[in-house]
Amino acid sequence: MTAGFASRLAGVFAGQGRLCVGIDPHGWLLSEWNLPDTAEGAREFGLRIVDAASGLAGIVKPQVAFFERFGSRGFDALEQVIRAAREQDILVIADAKRGDVGSSVDAYGETWLGEGSPLESDAVTLNPFQGVGALSGPFELAHRNGKGIFVLAATSNPEGIAGQKAKLTSGRTLARSILDDVTTWNAAHTTGPLGNVGVVLGATLDLAEFELGDSPVPAPPVLAPGFGHQGASVADLTTIYGALSDGVIVSESRALLATGPARIRQAVAARAEEVRLASA
């Protein structure tokens, strides 16, 4: 098996820090960057973000939806962006939020985590609505191929909060149940302090309300959207995530991307340093 995702992520944390630069080619952003709202524009945008992050931020997160809206040409653009990032030793988290059961979810796993797949990434986001157990195929594939997975657990969108706080028959919140299932998997498949399967926890939430305040062992990596444009402050990272802070990946997209092509590398450098100081 190749080196586990957790160990590679720890290396990124030690080298480039915890900043993850989102690659979200919104139509309005492409316009502000003087790029066409086409697959070709999305590709150029993504490649410029990769170049801006190189040597400064060790993780990028392409938002798959903004590429697949262009159909097959969009997927071709995404393939090129992913390949460029990985060739520069930048970890790629494909923000696909896929989820299904049986052979269908296994196919999603092969798409994003399969060795040699045109869309092969280092990690992918998955939706556990049909049960964390339904994701066992991608989990197993990730384990074999040294990949990572981030399972949605507590998201910032208002429509999801009530369901994620809902109590199951076990007495746990749904979000807590997801975290517990991830912890059980990591404990059985991970030898280091950081697991290969992580969770998505929004930075604008009060995690105590979801019963997520303690520190599972091994700790799951935490993909943390909500900083920057959505309002969460990097200075509050340890206050927001408490015992989970050591595994937090600070994900930021619009606030960085809106600085424009002339200033994006400077903005990434400044934000990476801010994140480093906040997580020291």
Token pair 């706080």 in the structure block, residue? 165
Token pair 């969009």 in the structure block, residue? 74
Q: Please give the helix or strand (H or E) that residue 97 lies within, else none.
A: strand 91-98
Question: How many angstroms separate the CA atoms of 37 and 17, rounded?
Answer: 32
State the distance between the two ends of the chain, measured CA to CA, in whole angstroms: 32
* Closest residue by Cα to residue 241 from 194, 271, 279: 279
Residue 2's pLDDT is what? 55
Q: What is the pLDDT of residues 25-81, one digit of tens each?
A: 999 999 999 999 999 999 999 999 999 999 999 999 999 999 999 999 999 999 999
Q: What is the pLDDT of residues 191-234, one digit of tens each?
A: 888 999 999 999 999 999 999 988 888 999 999 998 877 778 99
Contact 29, 22 (CB under 8 A): no
Active site residues: 97
**CATH no. for residue 151?**
3.20.20.70
Which domain range does residue 89 map to?
Answer: 5-278
Counting the structural domains of the chain, the total is 1
Whole-model pTM: value is: 0.97
C-alpha distances in angstroms, 145 versus 87, 114, 194, 271?
Answer: 17, 7, 17, 31
Q: What is the pLDDT of residues 168-198, one digit of tens each?
A: 999 999 999 999 999 999 999 988 889 999 9
